[in-house]
Chains A and B, each alone.
Chain A
Amino acid sequence: MKTNQILIRYGELSTKGRNRKAFISRLRNNIQTLFAGTPTLRIKAERDRMFLFCDDEQGMEDIVSRLPYVFGIQSFSPVTQTSLELDDMKHTALAIVSKMDTKDKSFKVSVKRPNKEFPYEKPEIMRTIGGYVLGNTPELTVAMRNPDIDLSVEIRQDAAYMMAETIQGAAGLPIGAGGRALLMLSGGIDSPVAGYHMLKRGVRLELIHFFSPPFTTERAKEKVLDLAEKLSGFGSPVTLHIIPFTEIQQEVHKQVPDNITMTSTRRMMMRIADAVRAKTDAKAIITGESLGQVASQTLESLQAINAVTNTPILRPLIAQDKLEIIETAQAIGTYDISIRPYEDCCTIFTPANPKTKPKTDKVEHYESFVSFDEMIDRAVAEREIIEFPRNKQQHFEDLL
C-alpha cells in the first residue's frame, strides 16, 4: 500500500470557457513552482481534473499539507494504491479510514471495476471491504446516501486505487491569471489579508513597505519580511520594495499642521507607491483599508489620499469587520507575525487628534510649500528590493 497520488478537482476555473486551458496550465505551473523542492513530483493535467504523482513519502506529506492553500483548487483527495489482492485491499481500506475522524460518522464503500478480469463482482468487493472496515471501527454507521465518509475503490488493470478523504481547497483562481498589482504592506493585521484576497482572485503581488529608521526598528522590518515570505507561499513568488521614508515623514511634520500630518503622510506613501507600481508594470494598488477602522479610513480621508492618483486602488477589506479580518489572518498564518509588538511607520508620529474629515484642497495647500517631488524620486530610487521566497540559508554557507 502506498499513497502516491493526489486527485485535484478544479475550482471556479472549470467554468471559464475558452480560457480554461490557460487557467489549467497556470495552476500546473504554480504547483510546479511551489513544490520545486520535491523532484519526484509529476503532474498530469486533464480537462476536468489533475493528478499529482509523488513517490517519496515526505514529499507527499508536504504536498498534502500545503495544497489547501493553492488557489484554483476546489478540493483534492489523496489516493492510495494497493495490490489486487482482496485481503490487501481491505487492510488498506481500514488503514485509510482509521486515520480519519470516525466518531459518529456514516460510511459507505463505492466500487468501480473497469478491470473486468478481476475475479470478484462489485457487491462482493463492497461487502468484503465494508464489512472489514465496519467490523474494526465500531463507531461507524452505514449510510448509502450522503455518507460522511465515502470510500471509493477503483479496480484497474495494474492495481486498486482508493480514496476516502476530500480535503477542501482554497478555491479562487490560479495566481497569475489576474495580472499584477502592488500591495501596501504595513506589518499590521489588515494588509496581508488584503493581499491574500487579491491573490485568491489570481492577482500576482508586488509589495511595498515604508521604513523609517530609527523610528521603526529592524524587528518591524523583519515582520514585513516574514509577512512577505508568507505571502509568497501561495504558489507565486513576490517582490518587496522597501522605501526609505524617514526624510519625507520628518518633512511632512515640519510643513503641515499636526492634525493633517496623517493624511499628508498617506498621500506621500500613495505617490511613492504609484511610482513603484509604474516601474513594476503593476496595474493597480492594493490597500488593507477598512471603512471606519481608523481616522485615515473614513470616506473623506480616502478621498483626500486617493486624490494623488488615477490608478485603481483596490480595497478588498473595505466592508469587512475587524473580526472577520482577524479570522482570515489566523487562517493564512499571518496573524501571529502581525501582532508582534513592533511599531510601523503608520503608528509613530500619530497626532493626538487626527482629522477624520480632512479637506483635500487644504491638504494640498500645506503641501505646496515644499517640493516633495524630489524627495519622492529619491526614495523610489533608493528603495531596497528583496525577492521572496528567500533562501536565508545562503547567507550562512560558510558556517553550516
Chain B
Amino acid sequence: MIYLDNSATTEPDPQVLETYVKASNRYFANPSSLHRLGNEAEDLLESARSQIKGLLGYGRIIFTSGGTEANNLAIRGAAHANQEKGRHIISCKTEHPSVLEPLKQLEKEGFEITLLSVDRKGAIDLADLQQALRVDTILVSLMQVNNEIGTIHPLADIRRMLNNHRALFHVDAVQGAGKLLLSEQEMPDLLTVSAHKFHGLKNSGVLAVHKAELEPILFGGGQEGGLRSGTVSVPNAAALAKALRLATPNPDHLEWNAELRSFFAGYKDIYIVSPSSAAPHILAVAIAGMRGETLVGALQQEGVIVSTSSACSSKNKQASHVIEAIGLPREYRDGTIRISFGAMTTHEDISELKKRFHKAHQLIKGVEQS
C-alpha cells in the first residue's frame, strides 16, 4: 500500500512510539505530585518542554490535546484577554475549521471578524490585510501552509507589517511544522503545532506563546501556568519533543512534487490546483467533471491512499470552503484530490503512484464513456 495522505495524518515513527511506551512505563506519575515519582515526571516534562522551545526557536510552550485545542486557545484566549484593547480580528477564508469556528463563536459574542479573500492560488493580497488592519484589531490569525492546497502565506511580510501594530499574530503551523522551518523574521506571537502531522501521536499538540496575554479556555487545576488545566500527559509531551527533533525538511519533496506536476500536466482533464509556490509536500489536483471521491476510491483499489481536499471536509457533500474560496472553474469544483508526502514517502511510491493513477484514470474514464 502506498500512503500519500500525510496531511491528514502520518504514520507514527517507531522511535516516537518507543518514547511514548517507555515514558508511560517509567514516568506514569502525575507531574504535579509531591513525591519523587512526580518529581521525575515533572523533570521529563520540563526537559521535553525546553527541547520543543529550542526546536521551535522561542516561546512559552503549552501542551494541548492537539492542533484544534491550540488554535482555540490562541484565538479565544487572545480575544478575551485583549478585548479591552479592541474587538476586531482578521483571518482568512481558507483557514482550517479549528480557526474559523472559534471565530464564528467570537462573532456571536460581539467581536468583529474580517476574513480576507484569496486568489486562485489561495494567496491573500497584503494590501487587503493592510487595509483591514484597524486600531482596534487585536489579532491576526493566518496559517503557515494551507492544509488542502499547500499555499504558503507570506509570514515574513505579515510579521513586518504587524511589527508596527499592537495586534497579536497567530500562525497555525499544523501543516508546516517539522517540514518547513520558520525563519526568525516569520516568528509569530502564537504558534500552533500538532504532533501527528510529523510522525508523532494524535491528541498531542502545543501552543507556543511569545509575549502574548492569553486567557484559558479550560478551567480546573491550573496546570500549564493556569493556561491549560488538566493533568499533563508526560508521555505525550516527551513523544512530541522526540517527533519534532526527528522531523526535518525533506529536499526530495520538491523534486517529487515537480515530477508529479509534469506528470499531471500530461492529462487534459486535470487541473493542478496547488500553486507552484506551494509547500512541496502537498499537491492538490482536480479532475474535470468527476467527483474527487470517485478518484480516491479508484486509487484505493490500486493500493494508493490519497484523499479529497481534506480529511475533515471530505465527508461533506459540498465542495470544501477552500476550493470555493479560490474559485476553481465549475467543471473541476467537485473533483479535487490531495496527494501529500511524509517522511516515510519514497521515490518508488511516486513512480508507483504515476503508474497506478494512469490505470485508475483509464478505468473511471472508461466507465464514464460507456
User: Hey, which bits of chain A sit against chain B, CB under 8 A?
Assistant: 57-58, 98, 217-219, 222, 342, 392-393, 395-396, 398-400
Asked if residues B48 and A342 are in contact (CB atoms below 8 Å), the reply is no
| B315 at interface, CB cutoff 8 A | no
B50 interface residue per 8 A CB criterion: yes
- Further contacts, 17 of them, CB under 8 A, given A393-B51, A399-B238: A98-B164, A217-B35, A218-B35, A218-B36, A219-B39, A342-B34, A392-B43, A392-B46, A393-B47, A393-B50, A395-B43, A395-B44, A399-B23, A400-B19, A400-B48, A400-B51, A400-B245
Query: What are 7 A-B pairs with beta-carbon distances under 8 A?
Result: A218-B36, A392-B46, A393-B47, A395-B43, A398-B22, A399-B44, A399-B238
Q: List chain B residues, Cβ under 8 A from A57.
A: 184
Task: Give the nearest-CB partner of B242 in chain A.
Answer: A400
Residues of B within 8 A of A218 (CB): 34-36, 39
Q: Is there contact, CB below 8 Å, between A396 and B35?
A: no
- Is B256 part of the contact surface with A, judged by Cβ < 8 Å? no
Contact between chains at B35 and A395 (CB < 8 Å): no
Binary contact readout B33-45 vs A (1 if CB under 8 angstroms, 0 otherwise): 0111001000110
Chain A residues lying within 8 Å of B242, measured Cβ to Cβ, are: 399-400
Q: Is B241 at the interface (CB under 8 A from chain A)? A: yes
- 7 interchain residue pairs of minimum CB distance: A218-B36, A393-B47, A219-B34, A57-B184, A399-B19, A400-B241, A396-B47
Residue numbers in A under 8 Å from B46 (CB-CB)? 392
| A219-B35 Cα distance, complex, nearest whole Å | 7
CB neighbours (8 Å) of B35 from chain A are 217-219
The dominant DSSP class at the B interface is helix
Q: Which residues of A contact B57 (CB under 8 A)?
A: 58
Q: B58 an interface residue at 8 Å Cβ cutoff?
A: yes
Size band of the B side of the interface?
20 to 34
Tell me the minimal C-beta distance from A218 to chain B in angstroms.
4
Minimal Cβ-Cβ distance residue in A for B238: A399
Give complex CA distance A219, B242 in Å.
27
Shortest distance between the CB of B163 and any CB in chain A (Å): 8
Contacts of A396 in B (CB 8 A): 43-44, 47-48, 238
Q: How far is the CA of A217 from the CA of B34 in the complex (A)?
A: 8
- Whether A399 contacts B34 by the Cβ 8 Å rule is no
* Contact present for B43 and A399 (CB under 8 Å): no
- In the assembled complex, the CB of A58 is this many whole angstroms from the nearest CB of chain B, namely 6
Task: Kindly report which residue of chain A lies nearest to residue B35, judged by CB atoms.
Answer: A218
Complex Cα distance, B164 from A79, in Å, reads 20
* B48 CB contacts on chain A under 8 angstroms: 396, 400
Give complex CA distance A342, B36 in Å: 14
Q: In the complex, A58 Cα to B210 Cα: how many Å? A: 13
B34: chain A residues within 8 A (beta carbon): 217-219, 342
Complex Cα spacing A400 to B50, Å: 11
Distance in angstroms from B43 CB to nearest chain A CB is 6
Q: Which residue of A lies closest to B235 (CB)?
A: A399
Question: In the complex, which residue of chain A has the Cβ closest to the Cβ of B52?
Answer: A400
Asked whether, in the complex, the Cβ of B22 is within 8 Å of the Cβ of A392, the reply is: no
For A94, give the chain B residue with the smallest CB separation.
B164
| Residues on A with beta carbons closer than 8 Å to the beta carbon of B23 | 399
Asked if A395 contacts B22 (CB within 8 A), the reply is no
* Min CB gap A399→B, angstroms: 5
Closest approach, in angstroms, between the C-beta of B365 and any C-beta of chain A? 51
**Identity of the chain A residue whose Cβ is nearest the Cβ of B40 in the assembled complex:** A395
In the complex, what's the smallest C-beta–C-beta distance from B308 to chain A, in angstroms?
37
Residues of A within 8 A of B44 (CB): 395-396, 399
Those of B54-102 within 8 Å (CB) of chain A: 57-58
For the complex formed, measure the closest distance between the CB of A93 and the CB atoms of chain B, giving whole angstroms: 14
Evaluate contact between B43 and A58: CB separation under 8 angstroms.
Answer: no
The smallest C-beta distance from A105 to any residue of chain B, in angstroms, reads 18
> Complex Cα distance A393/B46, Å?
9
A217, A342, A395, A396: most-surrounded residue (chain B CB, <10 A): A396
A254–chain B nearest beta-carbon distance, Å: 28
C-alpha spacing A58/B54, complex, angstroms: 10
Residues of B within 8 A of A342 (CB): 34
